């Protein structure tokens, strides 16, 4: 123990089992097994079933356990049946985890929890039941970001808006933001609506929503926003759900946004028979000018009465049994519309709420916990918890300075190998980065070391081009009005239906207000298209018509196989010679395989975009590499945290956009990172890092200064010659590095070279990949091959060139040798500039 045992919540210390009520009844017949092993706070959180409860659960305090046990408790005391419990999580991972644990606790009864899922999947499900009430049909498509952008691009083009000046991405961001805040087009404040496209932002939002209805589609935000609209405009529907859900549980409450909050508010009301309209849901007042103001927290303070204006529980309708679990110190999704205030103001929103703090940490050692606690204490505006552990102090948190990101990766690689030699499981090791571009360096390093690793997060399975193409075919079959899907595959594989054809179809479709697929049918009957295009399009339509019929006769997996085959899509990749073609075919197989889990095509398509995140086979022992954000909720024995530098972590953009609030969110992210570790937390910073291709000198993160000395050890980089080490890391120390011009003469590069010579045996190591790329302009693959060659040769004898030799290179022409390292030359080419090449690629002249 390094932290004093402060009782931040005195009223808990006098906890006594409540007399009477469910708790007592449950305990009466010797407390059920599932309650044993809970500490008093956890137990109270589980047993306080009536009225609103907020559980403030710090990192590693058994949050999931409380949630699942609470459900078990509700069920076993007979307070509700499985279908009467609404249990929402933020991520699919969390939902899966809960189902798993519930299953373990209850036997196999998990199937009977139909309302356990993410906000989005549950919102989507409700929406499908009542699709007609929001101008959709139940087979509507869920658009992902990509579809969204393409659609917006079309709208911008139709409006003659310059998408250079007003990018579709930006509009998508705005619309998302509005939807996160629960704003329909008419509710967007005029000022904000005018901020895009010379005042046309609001109009575009409205047009976009209209277009979605025509396409029978909804985007992510709609799954909640349209749900709210549904509840508002159809109180009878709302009432139905209000009375169905006897208990509501919410995980990660600190991550909920306004829309999610409103949705929960609506559902958590006791059903009232009279209220025909629910006033005051707009919450216009929270729409403060987030831009420019130092932070959103400045615009809303606890005590403002904006959010509860109309829909506060009327005296006659006490709030439901809602239990929210969260940790304000782990709120890291503010950029996505999450409102920390939701958790900060819980007792205000749900009067009479019981607040329970879980502060006993069962995960980390004393040093780790102390470091994390001390760091997060620098934040203002927290509810305040003091985590404590009964574990040993353990190893100190280490801070290691590396010269550059390459050395950082090398150092971490060596530490991992060392741990591995000591018998530690790679599965228990993680590297958590701030931004995904950091991952590549580690991947490169691990590949050369032959160290098994897995990247978590990455591009989602269903975001891969081949998966999206395949899905597009299925979408058109399922919902012929899905123009986006149709457009995507109309010429994939190439079948001679290019821009001109698509344009023609668009014209027809717009004139007659029909989907592209419909328009195609008509156009094929005319002679507007050239014979070749015409017969090609006819073939495609006939295919789809046939598939639509076959759908009823075949299983959906068979159908998918037939579609992929007959459309020529599989063949397209089989013919493809590029490196990743095989992987893509494999992915397509995986897609068909994954379809088996679903009842039918419709069910599959409903879920694919929401729950199809691949968590790769975890059976292999491998190091995990992921972002800090995706690490939330996970834990590892050893955690490496590279990149603790100003500008990267805290990220410059967070600082620029959100000011102090942004900084605090970054600090919470740091807190999340450290608390992922059970036994070892190892922080790194590099003095030089490459950003957009050029090297920059960086300053160690201020977060490092905020760590408590007593629990932190400054170590030397294992990767090299005692660079960063020493206790005095700080801005001044590295300020006077010699300036550098091209990337090849940077200190980092030079050092890497020195390293390589000293390092002896180890084969080359990264750092030459870019020279490889210089040899060949052919895409992909080539650089790798050449890199291999470089590495192989680099251990050889020194080159017989000398500095200032004039040389000739096939591709770059004439130049002069400026530097030599083994058989690798740095050459200043007369035309092509400075490049690194292997000596065998040039000849003396």
DSSP state letter for 17: P
Per the CB < 8 A criterion, the answer to whether 372 and 678 are in contact is no
Q: Which is nearer to DNA, 559 or 610 (CB)?
A: 610
Sign of torsion over alpha carbons 613, 618, 624, 625: negative
Which 103-122 positions form the footprint of DNA (CB under 7 A)?
118-121
252 labelled catalytic = yes
- Any binding-site annotation on 201? no
- Cα separation values, 482 from 227, 429, 488, 515, 552, Å: 21, 44, 10, 7, 20
200 labelled catalytic = no
- Give me the least distance between CB of 167 and DNA, in Å please: 7
Quick check: 844 binds DNA (CB under 7 A)?
A: no
- Give me the least distance between CB of 108 and DNA, in Å please: 25
Q: How many residues bind DNA (CB under 7 A)?
A: 49
Contact characters 718-747, DNA, x per CB under 7 A: -------------------------x----
Contacts by 389-393, CB closer than 8 A, 24 or more apart: 389/1, 389/360, 389/361, 389/362, 389/363, 389/364, 389/365, 390/1, 390/360, 391/361, 391/364, 391/365, 391/366, 392/365, 392/366, 393/1, 393/2, 393/365, 393/366, 393/367
- Cα separation values, 573 from 469, 492, 592, Å: 12, 11, 16
Quick check: 189 binds DNA (CB under 7 A)?
A: no
Tokens of 596: 């088996």
330 labelled catalytic = yes
Contact characters 676-715, DNA, x per CB under 7 A: ----------------xx----------------------
Rounded to whole angstroms, how far apart are CA atoms 256 and 258? Answer: 7
- Span of 289-297, 351-359, 429-437, 575-583 interacting with DNA by CB under 7 A: 429-437
- Any binding-site annotation on 182? no
Q: Which is nearer to DNA, 310 or 616 (CB)?
A: 616
Of these, 43, 410, 508, 651, which contacts DNA (CB under 7 A)?
651
For the stretch 492-501, what's the b/e string if a residue is b when 16 or more beta carbons lie within 10 angstroms of its beta carbon?
beebebeeeb
Quick check: 781 binds DNA (CB under 7 A)?
A: no
Q: Which is nearer to DNA, 136 or 152 (CB)?
A: 152
Per the CB < 8 A criterion, the answer to whether 357 and 385 are in contact is yes
- Cα separation values, 320 from 52, 118, 352, 359, 584, Å: 7, 20, 11, 26, 49
- Any binding-site annotation on 62? yes
Of these, 416, 474, 497, 786, which contacts DNA (CB under 7 A)?
497
Quick check: 629 binds DNA (CB under 7 A)?
A: yes
Q: Which is nearer to DNA, 532 or 589 (CB)?
A: 532
Q: Which is nearer to DNA, 511 or 692 (CB)?
A: 692
- Give me the least distance between CB of 48 and DNA, in Å please: 28
Quick check: 336 binds DNA (CB under 7 A)?
A: yes
Per the CB < 8 A criterion, the answer to whether 234 and 188 are in contact is no
Rounded to whole angstroms, how far apart are CA atoms 75 and 85? Answer: 9
3-state secondary structure of 648: strand
- Give me the least distance between CB of 384 and DNA, in Å please: 24
- DSSP β-bridge partners for residue 532: none
Phi, psi at 567, each rounded to 5°:
-80, -10
Catalytic one among 64, 145, 184, 240?
Answer: 64
Helices (H), 29-118: 40-47, 63-76, 92-106
- Cα separation values, 324 from 55, 86, 121, 327, Å: 6, 12, 19, 10
- Give me the least distance between CB of 176 and DNA, in Å please: 7
- Span of 236-244, 433-441, 760-768, 817-825 interacting with DNA by CB under 7 A: 433-441
341 labelled catalytic = no
User: Is 736 exposed, middle or buried (CB count within 10 Å of its CB: 0-12, 13-18, 19+)?
Assistant: exposed
Which 437-496 positions form the footprint of DNA (CB under 7 A)?
437, 457, 460, 491, 494-496
Catalytic one among 330, 448, 627, 675?
Answer: 330
- What does the CA dihedral 118, 119, 120, 124 come to, rounded to 10 degrees? 110
Catalytic one among 200, 676, 690, 756?
Answer: 676
- Any binding-site annotation on 59? yes
Per the CB < 8 A criterion, the answer to whether 266 and 231 are in contact is yes
Of these, 396, 432, 610, 677, which contacts DNA (CB under 7 A)?
610
- Any binding-site annotation on 60? yes
Helix (H) or strand (E) holding 441: helix 437-449
Q: Quick one: which of 227, 215, 206 has its CA closest to 137?
A: 215
385 labelled catalytic = no
Quick check: 612 binds DNA (CB under 7 A)?
A: no
- Any binding-site annotation on 411? no
3-state secondary structure of 39: coil
- Give me the least distance between CB of 92 and DNA, in Å please: 6
251 labelled catalytic = yes
Contact characters 365-404, DNA, x per CB under 7 A: ----------------------------------------
Helices (H), 782-841: 782-794
The strand pair at 397-404 and 712-715 is best described as parallel
Q: Following DSSP, what letter does each residue of 129-162 receive, concatenated?
A: HTGGGGT--TTPEEE-HHHHHHHHHHHHHHTT--
Of these, 26, 45, 481, 533, which contacts DNA (CB under 7 A)?
533
Per the CB < 8 A criterion, the answer to whether 688 and 646 are in contact is no
Quick check: 81 binds DNA (CB under 7 A)?
A: no
- Any binding-site annotation on 675? no
Q: Which is nearer to DNA, 81 or 653 (CB)?
A: 653
Quick check: 435 binds DNA (CB under 7 A)?
A: yes
Quick check: 838 binds DNA (CB under 7 A)?
A: no
- Any binding-site annotation on 69? no
Q: Annotated binding site for ATP, which residues?
A: 57-64
Any idea which residues carry the catalytic annotation? 63-64, 251-252, 330, 676
**Contact positions toward DNA, by CB under 7 A?**
90-92, 118-121, 145, 153, 164, 167, 169, 176, 220, 332, 335-336, 434-437, 457, 460, 491, 494-501, 530, 533, 610, 613, 627, 629-630, 651, 653-654, 657, 692-693, 743, 770, 773, 777
């Amino acid at each position: 123990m390094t932290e004093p045992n402060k009782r931040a919540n005195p009223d808990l210390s006098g906890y006594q089992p409540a007399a009477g009520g469910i708790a007592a009844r449950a305990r009466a017949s010797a407390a059920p097994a599932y309650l044993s092993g809970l500490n008093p706070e956890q137990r109270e959180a589980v047993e306080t079933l009536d009225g609103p409860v907020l559980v403030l659960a710090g990192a590693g305090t058994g949050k999931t356990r409380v949630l699942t046990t609470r459900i078990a408790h509700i069920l076993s005391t007979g307070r509700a049946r499985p279908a009467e419990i609404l249990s929402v999580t933020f991520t699919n991972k969390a939902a899966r985890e809960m189902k798993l644990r519930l299953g373990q606790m209850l036997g196999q009864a998990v199937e009977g929890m139909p309302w356990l899922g993410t906000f989005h999947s549950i919102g989507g499900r409700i929406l499908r039941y009542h699709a007609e009430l929001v101008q959709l049909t139940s087979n509507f498509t869920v658009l992902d970001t990509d579809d969204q952008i393409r659609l917006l691009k079309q709208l911008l083009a139709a409006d003659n808006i310059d998408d250079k000046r007003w990018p579709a991405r930006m509009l998508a961001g705005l619309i998302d933001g509005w939807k996160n805040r629960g704003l329909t087009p008419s509710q967007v404040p005029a000022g904000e609506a005018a901020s895009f496209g010379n005042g046309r932002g609001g109009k575009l939002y409205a047009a976009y929503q209209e277009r979605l209805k025509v396409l029978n589609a909804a985007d992510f935000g709609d799954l909640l926003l349209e749900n709210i609209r549904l509840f508002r405009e159809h109180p009878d529907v709302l009432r139905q759900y209000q009375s169905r859900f006897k208990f509501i549980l919410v995980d990660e409450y600190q991550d909920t946004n306004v829309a999610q909050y409103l949705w929960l508010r609506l559902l958590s009301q006791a059903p009232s028979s009279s209220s025909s309209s629910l006033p005051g849901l707009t919450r216009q007042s929270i729409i403060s000018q987030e831009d420019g103001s130092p932070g959103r927290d400045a615009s809303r303070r606890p005590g403002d009465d904006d959010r509860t204006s109309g829909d506060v529980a009327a005296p006659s309708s006490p709030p439901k049994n809602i239990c929210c679990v969260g940790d304000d110190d782990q709120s890291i999704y503010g950029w996505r519309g999450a409102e920390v205030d939701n958790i900060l103001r819980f007792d205000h929103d749900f009067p009479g709420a019981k607040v329970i703090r879980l502060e006993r940490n069962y995960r980390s050692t004393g040093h780790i916990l102390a470091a994390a606690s001390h760091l997060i204490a620098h934040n203002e505006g927290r509810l305040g918890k003091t985590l404590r552990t009964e574990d040993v102090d353990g190893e100190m948190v280490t801070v290691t300075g590396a010269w550059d990101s390459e050395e950082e990766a090398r150092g971490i690689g060596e530490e991992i190998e060392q741990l591995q030699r000591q018998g530690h499981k790679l599965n228990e090791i993680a590297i958590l980065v701030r931004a995904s571009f950091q991952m590549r360096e580690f991947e490169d390093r691990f590949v050369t070391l032959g160290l098994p690793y897995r990247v978590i997060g990455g591009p989602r399975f269903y975001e891969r081009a081949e998966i999206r193409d395949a899905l597009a075919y299925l979408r058109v079959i399922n919902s012929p009005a899905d123009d986006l899907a149709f457009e995507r595959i109309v010429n994939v594989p190439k079948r001679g239906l290019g821009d001109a054809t698509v344009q023609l179809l668009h014209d027809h479709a717009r004139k007659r207000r029909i989907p592209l697929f419909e328009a195609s049918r008509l156009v094929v009957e005319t002679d507007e298209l050239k014979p070749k295009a015409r017969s090609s399009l006819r073939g495609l339509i006939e295919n789809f018509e046939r598939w639509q019929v076959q759908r009823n006769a075949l299983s959906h997996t068979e159908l998918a196989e037939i579609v992929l085959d007959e459309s020529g899509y599989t063949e397209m990749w089989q013919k493809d010679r590029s490196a990743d073609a095989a992987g893509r075919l494999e992915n397509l197989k995986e897609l068909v395989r994954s379809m088996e889990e679903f009842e039918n095509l419709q069910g599959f398509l409903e879920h694919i975009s929401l729950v199809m995140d691949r968590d790769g086979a975890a059976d292999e022992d491998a190091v995990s590499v992921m972002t800090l954000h995706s690490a939330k909720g996970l834990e590892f024995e050893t955690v490496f945290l590279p990149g603790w530098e100003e500008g990267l972590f805290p990220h410059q953009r967070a600082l620029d956009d959100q000011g102090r609030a942004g900084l605090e969110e970054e600090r919470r992210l740091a807190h999340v990172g450290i608390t992922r570790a059970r036994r070892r937390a190892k922080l790194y910073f590099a003095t030089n890092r490459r950003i957009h291709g050029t090297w920059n000198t960086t300053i160690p993160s201020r977060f490092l200064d905020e760590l408590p000395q007593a629990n932190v050890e400054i170590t030397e980089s294992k990767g090299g010659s005692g660079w960063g080490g020493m206790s005095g890391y700080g801005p001044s120390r590295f300020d006077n590095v010699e300036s550098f011009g091209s990337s090849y003469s940077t200190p980092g590069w030079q050092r890497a070279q020195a390293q390589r010579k000293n390092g002896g045996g180890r084969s080359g190591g990264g750092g030459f990949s870019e020279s490889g790329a210089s040899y060949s302009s052919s895409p992909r693959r080539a650089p790798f091959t050449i890199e291999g060659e470089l590495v192989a040769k680099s251990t050889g004898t020194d080159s017989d060139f000398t500095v200032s030799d004039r040389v000739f290179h096939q591709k770059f022409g004439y130049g002069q040798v400026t530097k030599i390292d083994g058989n690798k030359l740095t050459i200043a080419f007369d035309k092509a500039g400075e490049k690194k090449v292997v000596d065998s690629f040039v000849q003396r002249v």
